[in-house]
Structure 1
């Protein structure tokens, strides 16, 4: 009896000690750690500064509805990486970016001073602090419970938690925006596809509880504006949180058929339309959907040169043909900085098929935005590169991509989404609700 009691007391003390350690780590949020879990301090070399709140308020010359003025427009590159000197910086470059530099003598990487501009509303910081002691993975890592807003795992213990932080990061409450995408072929030809888009987030809304989510992350809808032969076609998606429990629901309105059809599968390796076969469904937003087909390994944190503060390619009036050059996006419009990122590797599980057998993700410590992804085929060969070129939408505030790219390195093709330079700027307060994202609403709009 005494022996059993002693074992019980030891176990209780161990659990209490573990809880104390966890409590102590949570207490670091907003102190040694940023409110979302990044390291507040800069690096020892002084090349990464401390985080001091990010860009949480608009500059004086900003007016609502503007394309966001570049707060760093006057800066010059610290150095430029090209095919001649790429080996000098190899340790800080994603493998796909190094390959792009080596393949194309006229491609280069402009590296600027680092600015830790990521910011979010205070309520997202408060929710993240709560999540640190309450959120947990369920269903073998295919779902999350105990969180309704904020980053679920600001102090991640494994690769799945890092990817869920990206999937569930704050992106505003609701958005209306018009953007263009293009699949640029090896010969430089492309067709612009203009989409009118709406998103209504359920997760992350003020006042929402875990019970209110009903396994729903957000609602999404787009209508094709151009070219004329496709104009009027539309899609609506109801994005679930645990997609193994309940797959995302999607319906498409086909202009030629004048009817709405339920899509049987819009996930995993199903191809995105109008991407020339380059992009699968789970490549949208760098990664989305259920993580169940991959094994996830957290490799740790590393200092890397990644896209950041990409205001130059976001500016109003830039002709799209200036952005879309043969083989790659115009490098003179891109900006790279040195940042600390979480490195996560995902390897395809046995029994599943996907054109990308392994992915290496580089995830921003300050925002949980995936900034770059290396793709490897079934033979272990490097095959592709994804990049997200982000800015701080300081009027929200929210940090997210303004341009997303996917390179087929061997084919010389690439896909770009998010070009909005000649469109109205994002509206973060449109009159939207869940009823706007149903097959009935799609049918009404199509008619």
Structure 2
């Protein structure tokens, strides 16, 4: 039975660009669950009504899987943005989105009514409110102190706090997903890479968080299952919270060498797994890892057309060839809605090195997902456009992605990651991982060939 959970929120903040900020006052934190939603979004709709008030999100735990069950299938397209009418809608688009229209004559966006479906489990609300009162950025802003589980800064006062909210946002606690990755050539050709990924936060291990997890945000295991030349390659990551205290721990089992090695290059602009050079390590999940290479400036909020409620593209009746096309994914299958986003601009610090000199993030206020990221090269030119196809896994109260894409404006190539239309199993939420499942011994057992 569908349940709409009424929460709250109207957000008023002081927009500053400080690199490190303290917790908010009790008076500000009291707005969470009252004037603000419990994760800090503006509850009220916008002035013209095109963005409605948040009414608690969409939740239905009676549904076994959201793949193939679209709760908004009856919604009709309000309008379609094309090259011809682009100027009419530029105000609500990012520079990267505009560039996609300019590069591809057939590119379009079907815009639907806005459904603020995102919500989290009720049990997380007290933790997020406690974070508002207690969480602080560690030295230099590259870690967090006095932080519990998810969303350390529901009332952010700096760009860095918004970035940390994306990095720490709730993704179900513990889950295994079987997905596909597509490095796509300019002519539309691709080789499907099949991945099995397991993500677990320490609180959701069988024994719960222990002293050994003191500085661990989550554990992550990624197994390559196809194509055959990459089969058996396994990546293990212990993602740390305070990355000043200790950097990311990463190991890789190389199937060809049959050995486990530390993998310090699984960070920053190191190459992404089986991506054919189309993404960096920190492009996964739109953005991940230590934020220390950039100065992050909070630009405020903006209303933008972003992918949202993308159940249509998850339909198991679709084949991958129906979705993956030359230049970009099949835009007829992608749903866009107008949402308020936090805008954060990251500029590479003097003396630091990264292939991206600047990143501009557009972070959904209702889920803290970086939904669009514009990436700039060393010359300051727009280079790649990242797009998260947001979806609410309403049977688990988990906002996540149906897929993510990273478009290279120079080469015409792109990477799509996260689709599972042709996979026999998709999201496995009811797993019971142990701490031993994320050791180097477990990594060796996973590796084969």
Q: TM-score, normalised by structure 1?
A: 0.91
Separation of aligned partners in 2, 1:97 and 1:205: 40
> Following TM superposition, by how much is the alpha carbon of 1:21 offset from its aligned partner in structure 2, in angstroms?
8.3
> Following TM superposition, by how much is the alpha carbon of 1:160 offset from its aligned partner in structure 2, in angstroms?
0.4
Question: Which structure: larger Rg?
Answer: 1
- With 379-388 and 221-230 compared, the bigger mean Cα shift is at 221-230
> Following TM superposition, by how much is the alpha carbon of 1:204 offset from its aligned partner in structure 2, in angstroms?
7.4
Contact 1:372–1:387 (8 Å) recurs in 2 = yes
> Following TM superposition, by how much is the alpha carbon of 1:315 offset from its aligned partner in structure 2, in angstroms?
1.6
Q: SS of 1:327's equivalent? A: coil
Separation of aligned partners in 2, 1:390 and 1:295: 27
Contact 1:148–1:210 (8 Å) recurs in 2 = no
Separation of aligned partners in 2, 1:387 and 1:365: 16
Separation of aligned partners in 2, 1:147 and 1:35: 16
Separation of aligned partners in 2, 1:386 and 1:328: 12
**Aligned match for 1:30, one of 30, 33, 38:** 33
Specify the alignment match of 1:5 in structure 2: none
| Aligned pairs (5 A) from 1:158-237 | 158-202=158-202, 213-237=213-237
Separation of aligned partners in 1, 2:128 and 2:68: 27
> In the alignment, is residue 439 of structure 1 matched against residue 440 of structure 2?
yes
> Following TM superposition, by how much is the alpha carbon of 1:290 offset from its aligned partner in structure 2, in angstroms?
0.9
Specify the alignment match of 1:108 in structure 2: 108
Q: SS of 2:25's equivalent? A: helix
> Following TM superposition, by how much is the alpha carbon of 1:205 offset from its aligned partner in structure 2, in angstroms?
7.5
Distance 1:128 1:118, change over 3 A: same
| Aligned pairs (5 A) from 1:2-13 | none
Distance 1:363 1:232, change over 3 A: same
> In the alignment, is residue 39 of structure 1 matched against residue 32 of structure 2?
no
Separation of aligned partners in 2, 1:202 and 1:365: 25
Specify the alignment match of 2:290 in structure 1: 290
Specify the alignment match of 2:272 in structure 1: 272
- With 111-120 and 224-233 compared, the bigger mean Cα shift is at 224-233
Distance 1:115 1:121, change over 3 A: same
Separation of aligned partners in 2, 1:295 and 1:128: 25
Contact 1:203–1:218 (8 Å) recurs in 2 = no
- With 68-77 and 332-341 compared, the bigger mean Cα shift is at 68-77
- With 140-149 and 334-343 compared, the bigger mean Cα shift is at 140-149
> Following TM superposition, by how much is the alpha carbon of 1:436 offset from its aligned partner in structure 2, in angstroms?
0.7
Specify the alignment match of 1:52 in structure 2: 55
Q: SS of 1:328's equivalent? A: coil
- With 74-83 and 239-248 compared, the bigger mean Cα shift is at 239-248
> Following TM superposition, by how much is the alpha carbon of 1:342 offset from its aligned partner in structure 2, in angstroms?
0.4
> Following TM superposition, by how much is the alpha carbon of 1:431 offset from its aligned partner in structure 2, in angstroms?
2.6
Paired residues in the alignment total 426
Contact 2:220–2:237 (8 Å) recurs in 1 = yes
Separation of aligned partners in 1, 2:65 and 2:116: 24
Q: TM-score, normalised by structure 2?
A: 0.91
> Following TM superposition, by how much is the alpha carbon of 1:230 offset from its aligned partner in structure 2, in angstroms?
1.9
Q: SS of 1:132's equivalent? A: helix
> Following TM superposition, by how much is the alpha carbon of 1:108 offset from its aligned partner in structure 2, in angstroms?
0.3
| Aligned pairs (5 A) from 1:33-432 | 33-58=36-61, 62=63, 64-65=64-65, 67=67, 69-202=69-202, 213-423=213-423, 424-432=425-433
Separation of aligned partners in 1, 2:150 and 2:282: 22
- Post-superposition Cα deviations, 1:357-379, rounded to whole Å, max 9, x if no partner, equal 01110001111011000111122
Separation of aligned partners in 2, 1:211 and 1:28: 33
